[in-house]
Amino acid sequence: MTTYLPYVFLTPLSIVALVLVAPQLIRYDPLRYAISLSTLVVAFAVIGYLLLLSHHYLGVDASWTGRDSIGGYPVLITSVFENPNHFGIVTTIGTVSVIYAWLETRRTLWAVAIPVLVVAILFSYSRTALAAGAVGTIVLLFKEDRRIGIVVGTAAIVGLLAIVYHPFFEEYYRLADESFAGRMDVWEEAWLAATVDPFVGAAFDSGIRHHNSYVSVLLNAGFVAGGFYLLAVGGALALAARKSIRGDRWDAYVFATLLVICIQFLTESTTFGGLTTMSLLFGLYAGLIVQLPTGRLRRYERFESP
C-alpha cells in the first residue's frame, strides 16, 4: 500500500535522530534528561486525573476516561493518549525515570511523584504496563541495593497473589486472564500465517492481527529480515544487561527502561520506524545503550575534560 511508502524514508531518519544524534545530546547530563522525562510524565498523569474529575463532576467526555478499571470502579484514565495501554506504559517508563531521579537527588518531590504515577498506572488498567513496571523497578533497585531489590521483588509477588486470590481484584484478574487467553489465540494464528511464506513474509498491510511485536515482525517481514531485527533487539538487551552489571546507576536505569519497553512489545504490535510512542522510545534507549559509555568511562571523561 502506498500509505506505507513514507516509512521507507522515515525509518532511516528515525535511526539517525534517535540512535545516533539524541544520545550524544544526553551524554554529558543524563540526569537532566531523566528529570525532564519524569516531569513530562507526571504532567500527563495530572492531566489524566483532572480529566477524570471533569468527567464525573462536569460531564466532560474524554476518550476511555471514566470507564471501569481496577476493582470495577469507574476510574480509567488515558490522559492525552487515545489508548489507556499507551498511557499506562508511558507512565511506567516515567515511574522508572522518577525512581532514578529520586535515587540521584534524594529530593522529596520525586518521592511524592512515585505513588502519583503508580496509581495512574493502576487507573490505566494496563496489566502489561504494571508487570513491566514491577520488573523494571526491581532491576533498578537491585542495582542500588540487592536487599532492597529482594524486598521489592517479594512485595511484587505478594501483590500478584493478592490480585489472583483477593475478592477485590477478582474482576481485574478475570479480565486479565481472558485478555491473555485471547492474545494467545491471536499470536498462534499470526505465527501460523508467518510460516506460510517465511522468507518474505505477508507484508505490513496483510490485515492479519498479531498483538505481539516479535511475532508481528516475522509475519510482516519474513524470517530472514525479521530474524535480523529480533537479533538486534536481543543484542541491545544483552548489551544493556552487561553495561548494567559493570556500570553505574544510569546504566541500570537504561537497562530497566529498555526491559520495560521490550516486555510491552509482547502485547503491542510495533516496529522501530513505525513512529509510535513505544517504537520511538525503543530507538532512543537502544541508542543510549550503543552510544553512551559505561559509568566508569563517563567518570573518566569528566575527569579528563577541561
**pLDDT recorded at residue 10:** 85
Question: For the ranges 12-26, 74-88, 181-195, which has the lowest average pLDDT?
Answer: 181-195
Is 123:142 a contact under the CB 8 Å cutoff?
no
Task: Summarize pLDDT for 240-252 with one digit per residue, the tens.
Answer: 999 998 888 999 9
- Amino acid making up residue 249: R
Percent of all residues in the chain with a pLDDT value above 70, rounded to a whole number: 85
* Section 132-156 average pLDDT: 82
Pick 148 or 194 by higher pLDDT: 194
Q: Binning pLDDT at 50, 70 and 90, where does residue 288 land?
A: very high
**pLDDT recorded at residue 305:** 46
Is 235:211 a contact under the CB 8 Å cutoff?
no
Task: Summarize pLDDT for 214-262 with one digit per residue, the tens.
Answer: 888 888 888 998 999 999 999 999 999 999 988 889 999 999 999 999 9
pLDDT at 303 over 50: no
Is 261:255 a contact under the CB 8 Å cutoff?
no
| pTM recorded for the entire structure | 0.87
pLDDT at 100 over 80: yes
Q: Binning pLDDT at 50, 70 and 90, where does residue 71 land?
A: low
Phi–psi pair at 143, nearest 5 degrees: -65, -35
Q: Which residues contact 47 (CB under 8 A, 6 or more apart)?
A: 79, 80
The per-residue pLDDT of the chain, averaged, comes to 84
Is 27:292 a contact under the CB 8 Å cutoff?
yes
**pLDDT recorded at residue 60:** 87
* Section 108-129 average pLDDT: 92
